[in-house]
């Protein structure tokens, strides 16, 4: 499974989402390849992703995708991330 975290530059927010998603997946006993990228590279980097993690401001810019786009309100809230990932992957 591939999960892509997206933000404007692909460094800050997406990096936080990536690390927290990896922690949550480990806690849930799930395996996935989690990467971070910028919104400009989303079509290339998330073409084969099952899940895209991002904030509400980037949803429209993601465009057409077969991935489940999950909007995260608080990047530091691992409970929110766990609930949304479980719902998407369950």
Rounded to two decimals, the pTM is 0.90
List the pLDDT tens digit at each of the 90 positions of the chain.
Answer: 899 999 877 568 888 899 999 999 999 999 999 999 988 888 888 899 999 999 999 999 898 889 999 999 998 899 999 999 989 887
Q: Could you tell me the residue ranges of all domains in the chain?
A: 2-76
Write the class of the CATH domain 2-76. alpha beta
Amino acid 10: pLDDT? 57
pLDDT attached to residue 65: 87
Task: Check residue 36 and give its pLDDT.
Answer: 93
The rounded distance, in Å, linking the Cα atoms of 82 and 15 is 17
What separation in angstroms does the CA of 83 have from each of 41, 45, 77, 88?
A: 27, 24, 10, 9
């Amino acid at each position: 499974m591939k999960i892509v975290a997206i933000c404007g530059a692909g460094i800050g927010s997406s990096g936080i989402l990536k690390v927290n998603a990896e922690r949550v997946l480990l806690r849930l006993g799930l395996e996935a390849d989690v990467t971070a990228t910028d919104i400009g590279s989303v079509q290339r980097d998330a073409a084969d992703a099952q899940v895209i993690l991002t904030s509400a401001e980037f949803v429209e810019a993601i465009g057409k995708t077969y991935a489940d786009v999950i909007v995260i309100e608080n990047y530091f809230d691992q409970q929110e991330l766990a609930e949304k990932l479980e719902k998407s992957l369950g």
